[in-house]
Structure 1
């Protein structure tokens, strides 16, 4: 069983910071060709500039990933750079508070587009390319798609209604695409993140001194995950060694969902 992704080509969205950046960096360390993609061009350029290029296996693409043309251009840029794409990590996700009683609150539309629709559109484009690349081959995986979701999908938090619903929809999208793409030997899985030291969590901890202790008390393993730990889980779902795993929502939360009460913090 091989867990290697060396020589594979991956697109990682949300790669300018947090978990997305950790996944992209980890993939580079594992010998993959990686297209770092994000909407924040300044941050993306800065982060990629800090990573030493090794045999040209790093590229980055900045643009508004909410636009269909931008997604198509992202795929084209990846093919131009590396000739193919084997792995897609949909790591671009957004968290916003919600007001369930405010009819002017547009968080629902915003997060459904950001967390679900964009993932669906990019997955469609990349899957078509993976199918084309695999023509004439009858075995081995044609590609792997990994979505980054959240444990918020299975919890009830009115103040995060839009985020919870969008991640629940993302989990169902994962299962549906897994079945739709199975005949083409493309696997689709999702990772439901618990408390990870992401950019948004760092900001939350700065604003609330007691927040870290609160999270750790609710997590059986008693700590917040490092982004690298999520990156390694993504690698597993991307590699040939996970060749019979598809349509699964893998929870990486330190056991938190085993104990969490309703209304506990989502990070």
Structure 2
């Protein structure tokens, strides 16, 4: 089974921090060419400058909620690397909200625009490029591309204070399944990675502010620990590689078993 992504070109959104940044670094380490994308231009530029090797990397900053930004991103990627093989939709936002809707539906609207619509639109653009590319390459029966959505176990939980986030990630999971069927005839695979608590910078900050938070997570995780970013990025590599060539429409869960026993009150990200 080959897990190689060497020589492939990937777009990774949400690449200025967290899992998106970890995925970008890992794919570069594995020999891929990576367009790092984020809304936060300053942070993205700093992280790009900190890369030990930049020969196969490029970056693009912009508001991914805007259609023109996405079109410009595709143009920039083709200008830099001349092709696209992998799309990782890693950009997402987590916001708490009021389940009784006292503040209106602003939070749900914002998270659907942030967590769902860019992934939907960019996947469409990426698929069109991958299909055209296969024709140019004379690729009549081999794999054409892989789209990977970064989701959350919140999609399967009922946590009232994260209602909008849960709905947006559940919609992303359904997008994964629907696009997988729609793009199967074009030999483009679409899968998702849904994770629980991973030791990202944001989680580290939360743990510093609340010392009981770590123990709460561990107590509600059968494997009794918090995952490291490596455990997510290697799953992304698997889905991007030919090692998963017969997998599509799947939501791979990395949560240490939390969704098997998880009480509603336990925190999740």
- Pairwise CA distance, 1:80: 0.3
Which residue does the alignment assign to 2:15? 15
Q: Distance in 1 between matches of 2:18 and 2:112?
A: 21
Deviations 1:122-179 (A, max 9, x none): 0000110000001131122100000000000000011000000110010000000000
Which residue does the alignment assign to 1:206? 208
Residue pair 1:98, 1:162 contacting (<8 A) in 2 also: yes
Which residue does the alignment assign to 1:215? 217
2:40 matches 1:57: no
Which residue does the alignment assign to 2:165? 163
- Pairwise CA distance, 1:105: 4.7
4+ residue runs over 3 A deviation = none
Aligned-residue CA RMSD (Å): 1.0
Q: Distance in 1 between matches of 2:67 and 2:223?
A: 41
Which residue does the alignment assign to 2:130? 130
Gaps of 5+ in 1: none
Q: Distance in 1 between matches of 2:257 and 2:195?
A: 11
Aligned ranges for residues 95-110 of structure 1 at < 5 Å? 95-101=94-100, 102-110=102-110
2:68 matches 1:69: yes
Which residue does the alignment assign to 2:190? 188
| TM-score, normalised via structure 1 length | 0.97
Gaps of 5+ in 2: none
Which residue does the alignment assign to 1:249? 251
Aligned length: 266
Residue pair 2:148, 2:239 contacting (<8 A) in 1 also: yes
- Pairwise CA distance, 1:198: 2.0
Which residue does the alignment assign to 1:93? 92
Q: Distance in 2 between matches of 1:105 and 1:203?
A: 28
| TM-score, normalised via structure 2 length | 0.97
